[in-house]
A and B are shown apart, each in its own frame.
Chain A
Amino acid sequence: MKVKLKVKRSNPETGDSSYSKYEIETENSVTLLDALIQVREYEDGTLALRCSCRSAICGSCSMRVDGRARLACRAKVIALTRDNPEHEIVVEPMGNMPVIKDLVNDMESFWSKMRQVDPYIKPEGPTPEAEFRVPNEAMIDLTHVMNCIMCGACVSDCTVLEVDKNFIAPAALAKAYRATADPRDDHEHDRLEKLSEYGGIWDCTRCNMCVEVCPKGVAPMNRIMQLREMALEAGIKGNAGARHTGIFTKSIEDGGRLNEIWMVPGSVGMFNVPRMMKEMPGALKMLRAGKLPIGQVIPPGFPGSHKMHGMDRVRNVVRKSASLKPVKAEVKAHDA
C-alpha cells in the first residue's frame, strides 16, 4: 500500500523546525515504526527516531501521531489511514518534553519526576523470616501500574503539564500509587501528605487524556483518584482539593444536587480572604449576568438550605450505599 507521512523535523541547535513529507510503498501489515525506519533507510538518512524492541515492550518509540501520543511500533499504518490512501499521517515528537532532534525527546524531566516520588517500596520493622506475604487482591490491584513501560505518552499529552511544569504528571503519580498502595510499604501517610501538596494529586484536572493515550492500560488518572481516596481516608484534608470534594459530597448528601455558590468558599476556605477577594470581581460579573443561583445562599448542612424534591428517598440511598463499599482486607504484609 501507499503511505503518506508528514514528519516534524526539528534541530534545536539551529532552532529550525519544519515538516518533511514522504510517500512510500509498503506492505499492508506494517507498523508506523516500520514505515519510519523504511524512510530512514531508503529515503532520508537524516531522520532521527528512537526505538528498540519493536513490539510495545521497551517504551522507546512514543511519538505524536495525528495529534495524540502513542507507540509507533503498536500502530498499524492501515488503521491510521482509515481506508483513505490519501490520508497523510502526521508524525511529531512527544509534547511537554524538549526535543533533542526530530522525533527524539529529552526524557530527563520524566525521570526526575519518577525519582521525586521515591518509587521504592520501603518496609520498616523486622524483616520476616521467609518471604513477605501479600494478599492476592492487593497485587491484582497493582498489576495495572506494574504494566507501565515508561514510554512517556501520558506525560506528553497531559493537559495540566502543558500549563505547569511543576505538576508531577501522570506517569510518576501512577508510580507513586504503586509504592503507596503496596502492602509491603510503610510510608503511606508521609507519601500521601507529600502527594497532597502543590503539583501533586489534587492538581490533576481529571481530563482522562492519560487514560486515553496509555498503551498499557495503566490508566494513570484512575490511580490518581485512588490516591485521592486514600489521602482522604488517611485524614489528609487541609488542602483545597480535599475541601472541594468534601463540600461537594455534603451538598449532594444534604440537597441531592450541587450547591454551586458554596463550592468556592468551601474549597479555598471561607476565611482565606486574599483568595476570596480574587473571586469577587468574577462573582459580581456572574451576579450581573443573572448567573448566581441565589436560591442556594444557605450553605449545605444548615437549616433551610436548598433541597430537591423527595430528599428522604435520596437520603435512604445515600445511607445504604455505604454497604457497597468493598471490605478492605487488612493488607499489611508483615502481619502475614
Chain B
Amino acid sequence: MTLKYAFWPGCVSKGAAPELYLATKRVAQELDLELHELDQATCTGAGVLQEQNPEMGDALNARTFALAQQMGMPLMNICSTCQGIESMVQDKLTKRPEYLAKVNAILADEGLHYTPGLEIKNFLWVLVEDIGLDKIKSLVKRPLTGLRVGPFYGCYILRPSSILGKEEHPDRDHYLEMVIEAVGATVVDYEGSKKCCGFPILTVNRENSLKQAGNHIHEAQDLGADALVSPCPLCHLNLDAQQPAAKEVTKHEIDLPILHLPQMIGLALGVPPNEMRLDHHVVSTKKLLAKLPEMAVR
C-alpha cells in the first residue's frame, strides 16, 4: 500500500548534501512512498536560530506543520536535527494552548492553522514503524551480507527522550541497529554511535568539533567497520566532508565511508550506487562498494 507523506527535505539535502535528496527520492520509489515536498516550508532553525529567537522558530515550524496538515498527511523529514527541533516545537505548542493560539493568529494571515497531533517522523522511524522491518527484508535484493556498519544517530533524534515519543515507541534508540540487520549487514557496536558528531561547533571551536568526529570514526574503524550510516545530514557533513580535516587534527589514520541512511537502504534494494550519488562523497565509497562485487560503481 502506498504511504503518503508531506516531505520536508531540510536545507542540507538541498544544499551541501544533494546526494541525500536524490537517494531519498529514489528509495521512496522502491519502498512505495509518495513524497509530497513542502516547497514552501522554511528551515527548522536547527537549534541555532533558537539561540537568538526561539519564538521565530516556533512560528516558522508551526507554519510547516500547518502546511502538512493542510495536505492531510503526516510529516516526514530526513534529518535528525530537523526531527529534534520539530518535536521540541510540537511539544511546546501542545503544552501551551494560549501560546499556540497566538501562533495560529499569525498563521491565519495565510489561511493556515495548526492543530496539535500531527505525526512527525524521520525516515528512520518511517522505515521501522510505518513500512516495517519484515517488509524491508522482503524487498532486499542485494543483502549487505559481510558488510560491517556502525550506526551514527545524531543527538536530536535521541535526546531529550522526553519529547521524542519513546513511551509509545520504546525501541526508537535501537532502530538503526535493527535496520542495519534487516538489510543483512553486521552492526558494529561502538561507544560513539549515540554521541555528538561535533558539527554544531565547527565554526566556533574547530579543534573540538573535528576531534569529536575523528574519534568516533577512529573507534568504529578500529572495531572493523566498513562504513557508518546516519539519518542526519549534518552528522554526515562532519563525518564525511570534514573527515580529511578530522584526520589532520586527530592524527588518527582514518578513511571510513559515511552513508546516508537512504543510501544504505537503496544499496540493499538494488538501486545502482550512482543513482544515489555514492560517487559524490568526500571520502570515497569505492572500497565499500568493492566489497559487494555485483554492486561496484558502473
Please tell me the size bucket of the interface on B.
35 or more
CB distance from A159 to the nearest CB of B (A): 4
Interface string of A231-272 (1 = CB under 8 A from B): 010000001110011101101100011111001100110000
Cβ contacts under 8 Å, A264 to chain B: 202-203
A-side contacts of B209, CB under 8 Å: 205
Interface residues of A in 279-302 (CB under 8 A from B): 281-282, 285-286, 289-293, 296
- What mask results when residues 196 to 227 of chain B are scored 1 for a CB within 8 Å of chain A, else 0? 10111111111111011001000000000000
- Alpha-carbon distance A324/B53, docked complex (angstroms): 10
| B203 with A240: CB separation less than 8 A | yes
Q: A225-B50, A228-B51 are in contact. Are A207 and B203 (CB under 8 A)?
A: no
Instruction: Say yes or no: B159 contacts A202, CB within 8 Å.
Output: no
Indicate whether B40 reaches chain A with its CB closer than 8 angstroms. Answer: yes
B161 on interface, CB distance cutoff 8 Å:
yes
* Cβ–Cβ contact B43 & A289, under 8 A: no
Q: Are B280 and A290 in contact (CB under 8 A)?
A: yes
- Inter-chain contact A198/B55, CB cutoff 8 Å: no
Known: A206-B47, A282-B245, A321-B55. A252 touches B42 (CB 8 A): yes
Restricting to A293-320, which residues have a CB under 8 Å from any CB of B? Answer: 293, 296, 308-310, 313-314, 316-318, 320
Check B241 for interface membership: any CB of A closer than 8 A.
yes
Asked if residues B208 and A209 are in contact (CB atoms below 8 Å), the reply is no
Please, which residues of chain A bring their CB within 8 A of the CB of B280?
289-291
Query: Across the interface, do A289 and B42 meet the contact criterion of CB distance under 8 Å?
Result: no
Query: A257 contacts B42, CB within 8 Å?
Result: yes
Given contacts A212-B160, A291-B17, contact A159 B55 (CB under 8 A): no
A278 interfacial by beta-carbon distance below 8 Å = yes
A325: chain B residues within 8 A (beta carbon)? 55
Query: Is there contact, CB below 8 Å, between A249 and B49?
Result: yes
User: Is there contact, CB below 8 Å, between B281 and A289?
Assistant: yes
Q: Which of B18, B155, B242, B281 contacts A206 (CB 8 A)?
A: B155
Asked, given contacts A267-B203, A325-B55, whether A285 binds B195 with beta carbons under 8 Å apart, the answer is no
Known: A249-B53, A291-B18, A308-B40. A207 touches B196 (CB 8 A): yes
Residues of B within 8 A of A248 (CB): 45-46, 48-49, 52
State the CA gap A202–B203 with chains docked (Å): 10
> Which of these binds chain A: B101-109, B130-138, B258-266, B290-298?
B101-109
Contact B60 A164 (CB under 8 A): no
The answer to whether B39 has its CB under 8 Å from any CB of chain A is: yes
Which residues of chain B have C-beta atoms less than 8 A from A182's C-beta?
none
Chain A's nearest CB lies how many Å from the CB of B89? 12
Closest CB in chain A relative to B112 CB, distance in Å: 9
Which chain A residues lie closer than 8 Å to B49 at the CB level? 245, 248-249, 252
A residues apposed to B, CB below 8 Å: 67, 159-160, 162-164, 167, 198, 202-209, 211-212, 219, 225, 228-229, 232, 239-241, 244-246, 248-249, 251-252, 256-260, 263-264, 267-268, 275, 278, 281-282, 285-286, 289-293, 296, 308-310, 313-314, 316-318, 320-325
14 contacts between A and B (CB under 8 A): A159-B212, A205-B198, A205-B212, A207-B196, A209-B159, A212-B161, A225-B51, A228-B52, A229-B54, A240-B205, A256-B43, A260-B12, A291-B241, A320-B106
